[in-house]
Amino acid sequence: MSLATLAHRHPRIVDWGIHIDRTPAAGWLGLQFVALMPTWAWMAQRMRDGSDDPMGLLALVALAALAWSRRRELRASPRLGWLALA
């Protein structure tokens, strides 16, 4: 089924896709932050009790550096294919 056929047969699906594609980036980041809250709490607890080595912080710093270096390639809205996969 082509995109034109889908748009002709099911226009609401296409409108919904456009609406999702136009969602602000802060909203997506907020949803991801909320979804990862149990992980954030677990990571903070491990860092406080000493059972984890400080290399975890190094990994977070490396992730932040990578995101900063690729900031011009990041999109304000996610691609619909990746969004559906997620």
DSSP letter string, 23-83:
S-HHHHHHHHHHHTHHHHHHHHHHHHHT-S-THHHHHHHHHHHHHHHTGGG--SS--HHHH
pLDDT in tens, 29-76: 899 999 999 998 988 888 788 776 677 788 889 999 999 998 888 777
Structural domain count of the chain: 1
Stronger pLDDT, 77 or 67, i.e. the higher one: 67
pLDDT surpasses 90 at 16 = no
pTM of the predicted structure, to 2 decimals: 0.45
Task: State residue 50's pLDDT score.
Answer: 74
Whether 21 contacts 82, CB under 8 Å: no
Domain range enclosing 69? 3-85
Q: CA–CA separation, 48 vs 5, rounded Å?
A: 56
Task: State residue 47's pLDDT score.
Answer: 77
